[in-house]
Amino acid sequence: MSAFLMTTIGRATLKNPVLLASGPAGYGLEYEGLVDLGRVGAVVTKTITFEPRAGNPGRRLQETGGGLLNSIGLENVGAAVFFAEKLPALSEAGISAVVSLGAEDWDDYRRLLEAAGRAAVDIVELNLSCPNVERGGMAIGADPELVALYVRHARDALGEATVIAKLTPNAADIVALALSAEQAGADAVTAINTVVGMDIDVERRRPVFGRVRAGLSGPAIMPIALDAVWRISRAVDIPVIGSGGISSVGDALKFFLAGARAVQVGTALFYDPALPAAIVDALEKDGVPPPLP
């Protein structure tokens, strides 16, 4: 481990600024033997909800020309099993974990934070792209007021834990969301989550996904993510974590140049599981490039 790559995010110090993004990395240990988990700064777990979720029925993944559409539906084991089994397994393996948390309504969110607090979680990433059933299904993270509400409650509930807000690009002004998260007490923001898209089965004359719309990740969204990081990093004083479409070492370097403090690799894990370690190798050799003026 190179000491000069150690990265501070809020109250947490990671051994380097390369993370595995929430979703493709599962609970982390699924990639043991494929990804050199000892080389990455942390694994961001798949999003955990208070109650277990079976996820969406039917097709969940669809490749596109420039990425991957997913309609997983936050499938996960729920807070009780995650904090009793999954998180301790990561800790025993010596792997730093950033716990992704999500909820569709306020009561579940409150109970989820209470469970995270009892588990003494060090770092959380709030998945603010979940639909809010109390607001007609609108994504929590598309509304600056809701972003502030959810971040502030996490800040109050989790004490000294580092709180990261993951921002949706499916909003009128992502910079306003970042400013709202910062003002509410977030230690950092991640930009971006998936971009809304869809696909159609021509032969069957119907949408590919039962829910019609899905989340697009992969190389196609990288310019959107890079632009978001560039703008947000110039508007806030807290660290920005770049995520979205990184598929090469050069892509990761672009995010650092745009102003990111750290980066997350997601969809690329499916076809290049060696990429995270390759990024770390490059940073150890040449250092983290400073942001452009």
Catalytic residues: 130
SS3 116: helix
Report the alpha-carbon distance of residue 261 to residue 270 in Å, rounded. Answer: 24
CA distance 247 to 266: 9
d(CA 116, CA 85): 13
Q: How far from the centroid of its chain's Cα atoms is residue 248's Cα?
A: 18
CA distance 269 to 31: 9
- DSSP notation for 236-271: -SS-EEEES---SHHHHHHHHHHT-SEEEE-GGGGT
21 CB burial (10 A radius; 0-12, 13-18, 19+): buried
Element (H, E) at 178: helix 174-183
Q: Report the Cα 60 to chain-centroid distance in Å.
A: 19
List the one residue out of 255, 132, 143, 106 whose CA is nearest residue 191.
255
SS3 206: strand
Please check whether residue 77 is in contact with residue 52, taking contact to mean a CB–CB distance below 8 angstroms. Answer: yes
Residue in the structure block whose two tokens are 């899905």: 214
Specify the amino acid at residue 71. Answer: S
